């Protein structure tokens, strides 16, 4: 951290910086947060940066930034993870193989019991992440539906109200902009809650995961996927009907009938 503090104070556009595994001595959440903040500052410096990280989320997040190229060392892993072949080639994008670390551990001939334990913990942690994702998505769908219903009520009130002409057009445009911003905020909240927070919960839960390997270790969500999907479809259908622009209002200020 002292070295990074010195670099951030001294960096210039003509500098070249090499960062290797920033945040190794911190928790998953804190380490990722620090790494993202430092990476953003380095990008803003316009210097040439080489940034090596074990944080997969960091590679995904920063890959969307202008001027950032995300790369990884390519490897081939057999379906049963019994063999890994290092290709010694640079490939575009972050590493997508979920069990890269487990496959790598098998190469060093760890005891079978250790590998089996690691595999079990990895599977349970993935279940936690999937559960959080399902709950977050269902909550986002519910919030979007409530927002759409609220918009519908406001449109009905405007239709029956006394606003007309340019006043009505401006009000509708402002309403549309607010609606779009709130929808985007919900999408952003869902993305954050399904991202870096998973690591912190997985850390807290890891110690007790292997003691109970039955299905009761993870909350069941019966039919949640089906209900979420149908609710989202309904939400999208409603949204396609009631999203408007100022051109949708006739010259006399009346709104379309329901």
3-state secondary structure the chain: CHHHHHHHHHCCCCCEEEEECCCCCCCHHHHHHHHHHHHHHHHHCCCEEEEECCCHHHHHHHCCCCCCCCEEEEEEECCCCCCEEEEEEEEECCCCCCCHHHHHHHHCCCCHHHHHHHHHHHHHHHHHHHHHHHHHHHHHHHHHHHHHHHHHHHHHHHHHCCCCHHHHHHHHHHHHHHHHHHHHHHHHHHHHHCCCHHHHHHHHHHHHHCCCCCHHHCCCCCCHHHHHHHHHHHHHHHHHHHCCCHHHCCCCCCCCCC
Q: Which residues contact 196 (CB under 8 A, 6 or more apart)?
A: 28, 29, 32, 33, 57
d(CA 181, CA 175): 10
Give Cα separations from 194 to 95, 118, 174, 197, 227 (angstroms).
19, 23, 31, 7, 19
- 13: in domain: yes
Q: What is the pLDDT of residue 129?
A: 74
Q: Tell me if 198 sits within 8 A of 129, measured CB to CB.
A: yes
Q: What is the pLDDT of residue 192?
A: 60
Q: What is the pLDDT of residue 131?
A: 79
Of 69, 91, 115, the residue at which a domain comes to its end is 69
- 32: in domain: yes
pLDDT in tens, the chain (258 residues): 889 999 999 999 999 999 998 877 667 778 888 889 999 999 999 999 999 988 888 888 888 888 899 898 888 877 776 677 778 888 888 877 666 778 777 777 788 888 888 888 878 887 887 777 777 788 888 888 888 998 988 899 888 888 888 888 899 999 988 888 888 888 777 666 555 444 444 444 444 444 444 333 334 333 434 443 344 334 434 433 334 333 433 333 333 334
- The pLDDT tens digits of the residues spanning 17-31 come to 999 988 776 677 788
- 30: in domain: yes
- 11: in domain: yes
Dihedral pair phi/psi, residue 97, rounded to 5°: -75, 120
- 165: in domain: yes
CA 193 to chain centre: 7
- 83: in domain: no
Q: What is the pLDDT of residue 190?
A: 67
- 216: in domain: no
Q: How many domains does the chain have?
A: 2
| Report field, pTM of the whole predicted structure over 0.85 | no
- 61: in domain: yes
Q: Is the CA virtual torsion 235, 238, 241, 244 positive or negative?
A: negative
Q: Which domain holds residue 161?
A: 138-192
Q: What is the pLDDT of residue 49?
A: 94
Q: Is 141 exposed, middle or buried (0-12, 13-18, 19+ CB in 10 A)?
A: buried
């Amino acid at each position: 951290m002292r070295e990074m503090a010195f670099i951030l104070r001294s960096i210039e556009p003509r500098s070249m910086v090499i960062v290797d595994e920033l945040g190794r001595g911190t928790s998953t959440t804190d380490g990722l947060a620090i790494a993202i903040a430092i990476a953003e500052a380095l990008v803003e410096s316009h210097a040439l940066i080489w940034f090596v990280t074990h944080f997969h989320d960091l590679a995904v997040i920063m890959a969307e930034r202008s001027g950032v190229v995300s790369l990884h060392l390519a490897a081939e892993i057999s379906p049963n993870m019994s063999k890994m072949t290092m290709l010694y080639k640079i490939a575009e994008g972050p590493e997508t193989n979920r069990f890269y670390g487990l496959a790598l551990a098998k190469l060093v001939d760890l005891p079978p019991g250790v590998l089996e334990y690691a595999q079990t913990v990895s599977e349970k942690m993935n279940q936690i992440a999937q559960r959080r994702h399902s709950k977050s998505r269902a909550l986002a769908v519910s919030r979007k539906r409530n927002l759409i219903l609220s918009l519908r009520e406001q449109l009905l009130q405007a239709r029956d109200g006394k606003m007309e002409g340019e006043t009505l057009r401006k009000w509708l445009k402002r309403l549309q902009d607010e609606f779009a911003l709130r929808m985007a905020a919900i999408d952003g909240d869902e993305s954050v809650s399904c991202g870096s927070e998973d690591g912190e919960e997985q850390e807290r839960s890891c110690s007790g995961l292997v003691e109970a390997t039955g299905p009761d270790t993870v909350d069941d969500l019966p039919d949640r996927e089906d209900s979420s999907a149908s609710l989202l479809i309904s939400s999208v259908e409603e949204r396609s009907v009631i999203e408007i622009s100022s051109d949708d209002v006739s010259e006399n200020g009346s709104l379309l009938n329901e």
